[in-house]
Structure 1
Amino acid sequence: MEHLSTYLTPEIKLSCYEDKFFKSDVVFDQHMLIWFISGETKIIQAETTHVFKAGDIFLIPRNKPSTIINYPKDGLPHKTVVMLLTTPILRDFYRNQSVHVTIHPNPTIQSFTNHPLLESCLTSLIPYFQLQDPFPASLASLKITEAISILRTIDPTIDRVLANFDDPYKVELIRFMEQNYQFNMPLEKFGYLTGRSLTTFKRDFRKAFNTTPQRWLTQKRLELAHYQLAEKKQKPIDVCYEAGFENLSHFSYAFKKHFGYTPSSLR
């Protein structure tokens, strides 16, 4: 896979995937504002699946498990402008605002496609990626502040997401795992997102499920894969990644070992 990122600052980059396909299970530490130039992305979260293409603009909230699948399209690479709305930047912004809101406990991806102000703000960054000189930090700060201000103009409720600086709190473990088992994350990340240390996560998991996290995760992912193959008639390659497996060969091996037949035999 050939991936090229051109950075104006650590918070603003032009990202380009030239290859046919890229997949990752991630939890972003910061909010990400993304403008699509070309290509297509499928983002799978616990609540729903989103598909974005050229011209789309959307915000991915931090601390949300996601499966990201990027594709080139129409002979063009997967190319996006990405702006990180980091916690320090947002703290500094809201320090000068009089905001009293109820924090959104479980925000989802928000789409702002075809809004002229936001598109103009992000489009204006493109020429700077061609320059050899360093991008002035003061100008970067202005651009990010502009984007935040536009988001607040478009959606007055966005403060419920952007002004939330809390770490994940301790949540009910069974419900969280049933909603998020398909995301292939380290156990440390599952622990963090449920408000637990790794040791406490493993201890609480054993009490809740009477097995180890890895065994339970594999079982659940295989059951999901079987349903998608048998009932939804999806392709093994799509099921493999959407059910939380790293590659097709590992998925096929685990599937056959568990069920006694190959994924392709269900199609």
Structure 2
Amino acid sequence: MRYKNQCVYRPLAQINYISKSDIFFSCTEQEHRSNENTVAEHALVYIYSGSMTVTDINGTYTMHEGETFLFYRNMLAKFIKHPSENAEFKSISILFSQPFLQEFYSLNQPDGNSKPKWEAKRIEKHPLLISLFGSILPYYDLHGESLPERLTNIKLQEAITILRTVDISTDGILANFSERGKIDLAEFMLKSFTFNIPLARFAYLTGRSLATFKRDFQKIFNTYPQKWLLEKRLSQARYLISEKNIKPSDAYLAAGFENLSHFSTTFKKHFGYSPSSLVSHKSSD
């Protein structure tokens, strides 16, 4: 048995590695910044305590205690989890896999007025949602991270039924089984270059094979994708440090780099001065 005051942490990043419908609990007593993520399945996320800053290709917003969001499949996002004062961060995430949703909608007609959507959606507060998530938390307090499979299946059915009752327009996200066709590559890359994902993933998200992605990219930007991404991320990091007063130790992640040491070396090689020198220059001013 796990005692109630023990905080078991399971990051939202693990959505990447789950290929089936699931329900999991996330908890941390310190601020936690995830690596860049692709949310592989639709995820309904509720914040019990604390808050979570989310950055996707449309901007940055904050989920507060008691709020619920529906994240869409293949969404690019970065997450920063903030514990509440004198407390911890807690959230529940419910994942709806494609097989689960296809089976559900084969038995339940989707709303004909809901248009297919590829966007995160804030769900209005509702007693049914509060009751749903309130009924899940005690199982984690008593049994740890995992719910029994039978109970998980029951809660998944309950969750999607309540979600559609609260906001039927969510069918536009949940019942959207199409793969993205070709989208505007330039617009997408200018919005998503700070997400550190493989080129093959960029290609998939723009509706292209890797070879077509590289060919189209060179036509549009007149350079190779890897070179363009590196230069854009370096310029973004310099802007964040010099103009937004963000520390290099935070700016490198925000700009799309994974390793601080590699970032510092690459930055100095490209610009001729170190990231920390921008901080020193600001201080002297």
TM-score (norm 2): 0.81
**Which deviations, in whole Å up to 9, do the C-alpha atoms of 1:48-82 show, x marking residues without a partner?**
10222433322111112112223444344433211
CA contact (8 A) 1:14 1:79 kept: yes
Per-residue deviation, 1:136: 4.8
1:51 correspondence with 2:62: yes
Write the distance in 2 (CA, Å) between the matches of 1:5 and 1:263.
33
Write the distance in 2 (CA, Å) between the matches of 1:89 and 1:52.
26
Structure 1 residues 135 and 49: alpha-carbon distance in aligned structure 2, compared to 1, 3 A threshold: closer
Q: Choose which of 145, 148, 159 in structure 2 pairs with 1:147.
A: 159
Write the distance in 2 (CA, Å) between the matches of 1:22 and 1:45.
14
Q: Choose which of 203, 209, 230 in structure 1 pairs with 2:215.
A: 203
Deviates more, 1:10-19 or 1:176-185: 10-19
Deviates more, 1:234-243 or 1:85-94: 234-243
Query: Structure 1: 5+ residue runs without aligned partners?
Result: none
Question: Is the partner of 2:39 in helix, strand or coil?
Answer: coil
CA contact (8 A) 2:23 2:147 kept: no
Structure 1 residues 89 and 10: alpha-carbon distance in aligned structure 2, compared to 1, 3 A threshold: closer
Question: Is the partner of 2:36 in helix, strand or coil?
Answer: strand
CA contact (8 A) 1:37 1:54 kept: yes
CA contact (8 A) 2:164 2:170 kept: yes
Write the distance in 1 (CA, Å) between the matches of 2:194 and 2:148.
41
Structure 1 residues 251 and 11: alpha-carbon distance in aligned structure 2, compared to 1, 3 A threshold: same
Match of residue 93 from structure 1: 104
Structure 1 residues 236 and 40: alpha-carbon distance in aligned structure 2, compared to 1, 3 A threshold: farther
Query: Structure 2: 5+ residue runs without aligned partners?
Result: 1-6, 12-19
Write the distance in 2 (CA, Å) between the matches of 1:3 and 1:23.
16
Question: Is the partner of 1:175 in helix, strand or coil?
Answer: helix
Q: Choose which of 62, 83, 87 in structure 1 pairs with 2:94.
A: 83
Write the distance in 1 (CA, Å) between the matches of 2:163 and 2:56.
22
TM-score (norm 1): 0.86
Q: Which amino acid aligns with 2:157?
A: T
1:234 correspondence with 2:213: no
Match of residue 194 from structure 2: 182
Match of residue 63 from structure 1: 74
Deviates more, 1:169-178 or 1:65-74: 65-74
Match of residue 116 from structure 1: 127
Question: Is the partner of 1:169 in helix, strand or coil?
Answer: coil
**Which deviations, in whole Å up to 9, do the C-alpha atoms of 1:206-238 show, x marking residues without a partner?**
222222211100111122222223333333333
Structure 1 residues 115 and 216: alpha-carbon distance in aligned structure 2, compared to 1, 3 A threshold: same
Per-residue deviation, 1:18: 4.8
Q: Which amino acid aligns with 2:118?
A: N
Write the distance in 1 (CA, Å) between the matches of 2:122 and 2:63.
9
Per-residue deviation, 1:144: 1.4
CA RMSD of aligned residues (A): 2.6
